[in-house]
C-alpha cells in the first residue's frame, strides 16, 4: 500500500453566480489553455453554455474543503530503484511550496499536473480541483531515509503534510507499484469553481543564483572551473538571458551548457535546495594577481501554480562576485626547455608510420601531447632532423574533452620526413618541460629516440622496402611512327572581328562616363557661380537697407545691417564662421583666406567702429554711417576677389 498522509481545512460555500462569472471571464491566462484566438473563442462559448445550463438547475455551488496529501508510490525500494514522491492539493491551487529536503536521496523533477471534477448531489454542484507536484527519488545504498514534512501555501493558508520514510533494502523487489499521474481532460483544464487568489511572489531566498569555482588560489595557467548554479526551493521551468561578465585576465572555454534543467538536492546555508547547473566554464589565468569575477545575471521563470495554472513573471537574479588570487609560478628549479603556457599534467608520445622507406618517399612523424590543461597554451617541441632528411610541416590538430571535472585533451603535430640519400638516420628524443599544479613542481616529459632507414630504389620487378610493387621493362624499344602534325582549330578570340565586337561597347561606356563627368563639373561650376551671385546680392540688399534705416534716423539698426552684410559675405564666400569671431580674431582669419592685409585690418576696424557707435551714449551722425557704408562696399569687393582667387587655386 502506498504511504499517504492528509491535512484538511474548512471549505467555503459560494453562490453559483461566482461560477457563472468565472465561466464568462477570459481564460487566456491559463498556462494549459490553447493560445489560438479561434480556439479560445470556441472554448469560451462552450463554457458559457455549460454554465447557463447548470444555472437552470441550481442556485448555489459548493466547493469542497482543501486537503493536502503527501505520498510515496512505494514505502520500500531497492538501491537505484526510483519511486514517486507526490504532493497533492485537493480543492484549491498551490500558491507556493517548499522543496522537500531529500537529503542523500537523488531527486529529479518536479513535474506538475492539475485536474478538475464536477459532481451533482441532491441538486447541489460541487467542483473538486486537484493540483499535484511529483518527484522521482532513488537511493544509491540501502538504509532508512526520512523525508521531512513539506509545507504548501494554498490560497493564502499554510498546509503541512506528514513526514514519510523510505526503506531501501539490499535486493530489488519484484512488481514494485509505480504511481501514475492523473489524467486531465479538456474541460478540467478550463473550469474552476472559484477565482484564483493573488499568487505569492517568491522571495530572494527561494531562488538564488550562485557562481562557484573549484579553487580560489590557482597558479598562472592552472585551470579553474567556474560553475553557475541555480538554487531553488520552488519549481523552475526556464532560465533565460544569461549575461556573463568580461573575464579579463583569463582564457575561457565553455565546457558544459545543459539543454534541460535537472535538479540535484543540495544544502546551502543550512537549507535544502534543488541545485540546477546552468553553465560551466573553464578559466586559465594569464598572469598573477588578484582578480574579481563580476556577478552573473539571468532571468528565471518560476513554476508557481495558481488555481488556473497561470505562469508568473520572470525573476531577475544576480550572483555574488567571485574573488580569485592567482599565484605566480615558482622561480626555482625552472627547466631550460620550459616556456610560459606549459602548465598542466601532460604526457608526450611520438610515433612513425614506418621505419624503412625508399629515397624520396616520406615517413610521417607524429608528435602528440595528451593530458589536462589549456590546449592553446603549450608550445610543442620541434624534432632535430639529421642531415640527409628533409622535414615538411608541421600540421597541427586539437581535440578537447571534459571528464571528471578536468579539462584537457590532445594536441597533435605531424611532419613528413623525406630521405634524400640512402642510409640510417637517428632522430633524437624530444623533451617537454611543464609545471604540474597538482604536484606544485616542474616536470619534464621525454620521448625515446627513433631509428629510420632509407634504401635505394629497386631496378627489377619485386617488392620494395615499403611493400609497394615496382617493375622495369628492359630490351629494345617499340618502333615509333611519324604522324602528321595535328592542326589546331582556329579560336574565336584570336580573330580581329571578335575584339572589335568586345571593344566597341567598352569604348561607348568610357565615352558616356566622360561626358557625364564633364556635365557634373559644369553643373558644379554653375552652382558656385550662383552661390557667389546670391551672396553678393544679399550683401548689397543689406547695405541698401542700411541706407534706408539711416535716412529714417535709425542709425543703430543701420550700423547692425552694415556689420551683418560684411560678416554674412565672409561666412558664405570664404567658408569662415565669422559670426562667432571677435573683432580681434577676424583680421587673422581673413589673412589666412587670402584677403590683403590692409583690407583685413580695415574689416576689423569697421566692425569695431560699428559696435562702438551702436552702443555709444551719443547716437552716431549721418555722415559717419555713410562713411562706414562706403567702406563696407570696398571691403565686400576685396572679399569677393579673395574668394575668386581661392577658387581658382
**pLDDT attached to residue 25:** 38
* Of residues 431, 409, 413, the one with CA closest to residue 338: 431
Residue found under cell 536521496:
105
Write out pLDDT tens, residues 560-570: 888 888 787 77
Task: Pick the range with the lowest mean pLDDT from 316-325, 381-390, 495-504.
Answer: 495-504
Cβ atoms of 346 and 446 closer than 8 Å: no
Percent of the chain with pLDDT over 70: 73
Task: Pick the range with the lowest mean pLDDT from 166-170, 345-349, 380-384, 472-476.
Answer: 472-476
Q: What's the CA gap between 445 and 417, in Å, rounded? A: 23
Pure H helices in 114-230: none
Percent of the chain with pLDDT over 90: 17
Sequence-ordered list of residues with C-beta below 8 angstroms from that of 215, at least 6 positions apart, any chain: 222, 224
**pLDDT attached to residue 329:** 92
**pLDDT attached to residue 322:** 93
Q: What's the length of the chain?
A: 649
Q: Which segment, 39-43, 311-315, 409-413, 471-475, is predicted with the most confidence on average? A: 409-413
* Residues 585-593, mean pLDDT to the nearest whole number: 77
Question: For the chain, how far is it from start to end, CA to CA, in angstroms?
Answer: 106
3-state secondary structure of 477: coil
**pLDDT attached to residue 537:** 82
**pLDDT attached to residue 46:** 63
**pLDDT attached to residue 577:** 66
**pLDDT attached to residue 44:** 59
The dihedral of CA 519, 520, 526, 529: what is its sign? negative
* Of residues 19, 187, 197, the one with CA closest to residue 116: 187
Write out pLDDT tens, residues 596-611: 877 777 887 778 877 7
Write out pLDDT tens, residues 85-134: 888 888 777 877 777 888 888 887 777 777 766 665 555 556 677 888 88
Average pLDDT of the chain, as a whole number: 75
Higher pLDDT, 354 or 627: 354
Sequence-ordered list of residues with C-beta below 8 angstroms from that of 159, at least 6 positions apart, any chain: 7, 9, 66, 68, 89, 151, 152, 153
Cβ atoms of 189 and 307 closer than 8 Å: no
pLDDT bin (cut points 50, 70, 90) of residue 526 is low
Higher pLDDT, 312 or 214: 214
DSSP percent split of the chain into helix, strand, coil, nearest 5: 25, 35, 40
Residue found under cell 612513425:
352
Neighbours of 40 (CB within 10 A): 16
pLDDT score of 377 more than 70: yes
pLDDT score of 324 more than 90: yes
* Residues 482-496, mean pLDDT to the nearest whole number: 64
**pLDDT attached to residue 169:** 84
Cell of 558: 543701420
* b (16+ CB within 10 A) / e for 101-113: bbeebebebbebb
Cβ atoms of 565 and 648 closer than 8 Å: no
**pLDDT attached to residue 573:** 67
Sequence-ordered list of residues with C-beta below 8 angstroms from that of 636, at least 6 positions apart, any chain: 536, 539, 543, 565, 566, 569
3-state secondary structure of 518: helix
3-state secondary structure of 449: coil
**pTM flag (> 0.75):** no
**pLDDT attached to residue 561:** 81
Task: Pick the range with the lowest mean pLDDT from 8-17, 388-397, 435-444, 626-635.
Answer: 8-17
* Of residues 144, 139, 142, 119, the one with CA closest to residue 129: 119
Write out pLDDT tens, residues 211-261: 999 999 999 999 999 999 989 887 788 888 888 888 888 988 888 778 778
Higher pLDDT, 466 or 251: 251
From start to end of 46-163, where are the E strands? 60-63, 67-72, 76-77, 83-90, 96-97, 106-121, 124-138, 143-147, 151-154, 157-160
Amino acid at each position: 500500500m502506498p504511504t499517504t498522509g492528509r491535512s484538511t481545512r474548512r471549505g467555503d460555500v459560494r453562490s453559483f453566480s461566482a461560477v457563472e462569472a468565472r465561466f464568462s471571464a477570459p481564460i487566456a491566462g491559463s498556462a494549459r489553455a490553447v493560445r489560438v484566438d479561434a480556439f479560445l473563442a470556441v472554448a469560451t462559448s462552450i463554457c458559457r453554455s455549460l454554465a447557463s445550463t447548470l444555472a437552470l438547475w441550481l442556485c448555489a455551488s459548493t466547493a469542497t474543503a482543501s486537503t493536502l496529501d503527501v505520498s510515496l508510490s512505494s514505502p520500500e525500494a531497492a538501491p537505484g530503484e526510483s519511486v514517486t514522491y507526490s504532493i497533492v492539493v485537493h480543492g484549491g491551487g498551490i500558491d507556493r511550496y517548499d522543496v522537500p529536503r531529500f537529503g542523500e536521496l537523488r531527486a529529479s523533477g518536479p513535474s506538475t499536473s492539475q485536474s478538475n471534477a464536477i459532481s451533482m448531489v441532491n441538486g447541489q454542484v460541487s467542483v473538486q480541483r486537484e493540483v499535484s507536484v511529483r518527484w522521482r527519488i532513488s537511493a544509491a545504498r540501502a538504509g532508512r531515509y526520512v523525508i521531512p514534512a513539506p509545507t504548501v501555501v494554498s490560497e493564502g493558508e499554510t498546509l503541512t503534510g506528514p513526514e514519510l520514510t523510505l526503506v531501501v533494502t539490499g535486493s530489488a523487489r519484484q512488481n514494485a507499484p509505480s504511481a501514475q499521474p492523473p489524467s486531465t481532460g479538456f474541460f478540467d483544464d478550463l473550469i474552476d469553481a472559484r477565482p484564483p487568489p493573488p499568487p505569492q511572489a517568491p522571495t530572494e531566498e527561494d531562488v538564488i543564483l550562485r557562481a562557484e569555482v573549484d579553487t580560489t588560489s590557482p597558479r598562472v595557467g592552472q585551470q579553474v572551473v567556474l560553475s553557475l548554479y541555480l538554487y531553488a526551493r520552488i519549481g523552475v521551468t526556464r532560465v533565460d538571458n544569461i549575461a556573463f561578465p568580461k573575464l579579463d585576465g583569463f582564457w575561457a572555454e565553455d565546457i558544459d551548457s545543459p539543454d534541460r534543467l535537472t535538479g540535484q538536492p543540495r544544502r546551502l546555508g543550512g537549507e535544502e535546495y534543488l541545485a540546477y547547473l546552468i553553465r560551466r566554464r573553464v578559466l586559465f589565468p594569464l598572469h598573477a594577481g588578484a582578480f574579481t569575477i563580476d556577478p552573473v545575471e539571468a532571468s528565471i521563470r518560476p513554476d508557481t501554480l495558481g488555481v488556473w495554472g497561470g505562469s508568473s513573471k520572470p525573476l531577475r537574479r544576480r550572483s555574488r562576485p567571485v574573488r580569485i588570487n592567482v599565484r605566480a609560478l615558482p622561480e626555482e628549479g625552472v627547466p631550460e626547455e620550459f616556456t610560459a603556457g606549459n602548465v598542466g599534467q601532460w604526457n608526450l608520445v611520438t610515433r612513425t608510420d614506418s621505419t624503412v622507406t625508399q629515397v624520396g618517399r616520406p615517413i610521417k612523424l607524429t608528435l602528440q601531447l595528451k593530458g589536462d590543461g589549456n590546449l592553446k597554451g603549450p608550445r610543442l617541441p620541434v624534432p632535430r632532423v639529421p642531415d640527409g632528411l628533409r622535414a615538411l610541416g608541421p600540421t597541427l590538430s586539437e581535440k578537447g574533452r571534459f571528464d571528471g571535472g578536468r579539462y584537457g585533451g590532445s594536441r597533435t603535430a605531424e611532419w613528413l620526413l623525406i630521405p634524400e640519400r640512402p642510409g640510417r638516420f637517428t632522430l633524437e628524443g624530444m623533451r617537454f618541460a611543464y609545471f604540474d599544479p597538482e604536484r606544485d613542481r616542474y616536470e619534464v616529459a621525454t620521448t625515446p629516440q627513433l631509428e629510420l632507414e632509407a634504401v635505394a630504389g629497386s631496378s627489377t620487378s619485386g617488392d620494395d622496402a615499403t611493400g609497394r610493387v615496382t617493375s622495369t621493362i628492359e630490351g629494345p624499344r617499340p618502333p615509333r611512327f611519324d604522324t602528321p602534325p595535328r592542326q589546331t582549330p582556329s579560336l574565336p578570340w584570336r580573330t580581329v572581328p571578335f575584339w572589335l565586337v568586345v571593344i566597341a561597347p567598352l569604348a561607348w561606356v568610357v565615352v558616356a562616363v566622360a561626358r557625364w563627368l564633364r556635365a557634373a563639373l559644369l553643373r558644379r561650376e554653375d552652382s558656385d557661380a550662383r552661390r557667389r551671385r546670391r551672396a553678393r546680392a544679399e550683401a548689397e540688399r543689406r547695405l541698401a537697407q542700411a541706407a534706408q534705416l539711416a535716412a529714417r534716423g535709425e542709425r543703430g539698426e543701420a550700423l547692425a545691417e552694415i556689420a551683418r552684410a560684411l560678416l554674412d559675405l565672409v561666412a558664405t564666400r570664404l567658408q569662415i564662421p565669422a559670426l562667432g569671431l571677435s573683432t580681434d580674431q577676424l583680421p587673422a582669419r581673413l589673412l589666412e583666406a587670402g584677403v590683403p592685409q590692409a583690407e583685413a585690418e580695415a574689416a576689423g576696424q569697421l566692425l569695431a567702429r560699428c559696435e562702438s557707435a551702436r552702443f555709444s551714449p551719443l547716437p552716431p551722425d549721418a555722415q559717419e554711417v555713410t562713411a562706414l557704408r562706403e567702406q563696407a562696399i570696398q571691403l565686400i569687393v576685396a572679399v569677393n576677389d579673395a574668394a575668386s582667387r581661392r577658387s581658382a587655386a
